[in-house]
Structure formats: C-alpha cells, structure tokens
C-alpha cells in the first residue's frame, strides 16, 4: 500500500483519482447541492442507525460521511458516546462541521482522510457505517 503525498492527508495510491475528485469538482458539486442530497438520502439515516443497533455510549465511525447527516443521526443515538465522520472531501466536511455546530451536536468530529490508510486505533469503534461512501471502492 503506497500513500500519495499530493494531498494534505495520507491517500492510498489506488484511491488517488477518487480523492482528487471528491476533494475537487465532485466534492464541490455535492457541497453546493448538499441540502437536496440530504433530503433525497436522509430516508436511509434512521434505518441505518436502527439497523446498526447504535447504543447510548457507542463510539461510532461514519465512513464517507459527506456533509454529516448520518454522523449527526448517529450522534443523536450515541449521546454518551462519540462519532467520527471521515471523508475525502474538504468542501463537504466544512459543511458537516458548520451544520453540527449550528445544531448543537458536540459528540461528533469530522476528519478528512482515506479510510483505507487512516491510522485508526485497534478496536476503537463499536459501530462502523457508511450510507453512501462505499460505492466508490474498487
């Protein structure tokens, strides 16, 4: 596994094109239309959180969190726990942070990174979900 130094965060070489798009034009497009996408895809959040059996003290990981709707839904269930939203797109993460702050959601953190090479601590999450992020894996 080789990481690419062209990004501000470690990226696996197999994900370089995706990282460039999501932290570039694709991420900007989704950020611009994030309200429409959240309305369209939001129906999955409650189902996903229930299916993941998220509990009050869980430590949750949202892979490909985008603008953070699923992360906020997780945080609403893991009220004594925490949520890490991880995404390639800096533009979408800025919206996620702002929206969580305005909503008063304080048990969520948003980080830019590639899930394939992110330095996760072993056994650091009780729940891992991805509403929309895994479609880009090859």
The C-alpha angle with vertex 31 and arms to 92 and 79, in degrees rounded to 5, equals: 45
pLDDT single digits (tens) 18-59:
888 888 999 899 899 989 988 888 778 888 889 999 999 999
- For the chain, list the domains and their CATH numbers: 9-136 (3.40.50.150)
Say how far apart CA 112 and CA 87 lie, in whole Å. 5
Residue 87 binned pLDDT confidence (cut-offs 50, 70, 90): very high
pLDDT single digits (tens) 116-138:
999 999 999 999 999 876 554 44
Strand bridging mode 59-63 / 82-87: parallel
């Amino acid at each position: 596994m080789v990481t690419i130094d062209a990004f501000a965060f470690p990226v696996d070489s197999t994900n370089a094109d995706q990282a460039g798009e999501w932290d570039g034009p694709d991420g900007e497009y989704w950020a611009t239309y994030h309200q429409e996408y959240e309305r369209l895809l939001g129906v999955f959040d409650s189902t996903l959180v229930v299916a993941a059996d998220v509990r009050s003290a869980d430590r949750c990981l949202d892979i490909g969190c985008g603008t953070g709707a699923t992360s906020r839904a997780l945080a609403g269930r893991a009220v004594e726990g925490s949520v890490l939203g991880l995404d390639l797109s800096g533009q979408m993460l800025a919206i996620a942070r702002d929206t969580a702050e305005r909503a008063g959601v304080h048990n969520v953190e948003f980080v830019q990174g590639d899930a394939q090479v992110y330095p996760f601590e072993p056994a650091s999450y009780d729940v891992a979900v991805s509403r929309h992020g895994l479609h880009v894996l090859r």
